[in-house]
Amino acid sequence: MRRILAAVAEKGGDALVFTGIKGGPLRRSGFNKITRWKPVVEALGVPNLHFHDLRHTGNTLAADMGVSLRNLMARMGHDNERAALRYQHRSNSADRAIADGLNALVQAGQKRDGDDDDGAAGSLVPVA
């Protein structure tokens, strides 16, 4: 990475790694043109992929791994929970993890909260 940066970036602590056509900061409005985004994603077979879709996918995968809402917010630069919650979709992998965890409890013969007087409500039943 250092070798690549030495070849493409200007020198100095304030140097830009990615620049616009005239050498200034890369602006959102010029990103697609400079990167040739549309032909690149078409060549990859995903013609409707937007750059922001990559951010959404990465953050959704992080949420699926069980990353806390607070850590997702820090990763994405969000200062409110509502914005970060959109990355926490219901997923089959989360459903599977819940079912596996419940099965582990059943197989271990544990009772909910150690309370023995729940009647039928306290019965653990396999879910898989």
The domains of the chain are located at 91-112+122-128
The owner of tokens 């690549």 is: 4
DSSP for the chain, please give it. -HHHHHHHSPSSTT--SSB-TTSSBPPHHHHHHHHTHHHHHHHTT-TT--HHHHHHHHHHHHHHTT--HHHHHHHHT-SSHHHHHTT----HHHHHHHHHHHHHHHHHT--GGG-S--GGGG------
**Contact indicator for 128, 105 with CB cutoff of 8 Å:** no
Could you report the per-residue pLDDT of 89-104, keeping only the tens digit for each? 666 677 788 788 888 8
Could you report the per-residue pLDDT of 14-62, keeping only the tens digit for each? 778 778 888 788 888 888 888 899 999 999 999 999 988 988 888 888 8
Q: What is the pLDDT of residue 104?
A: 85
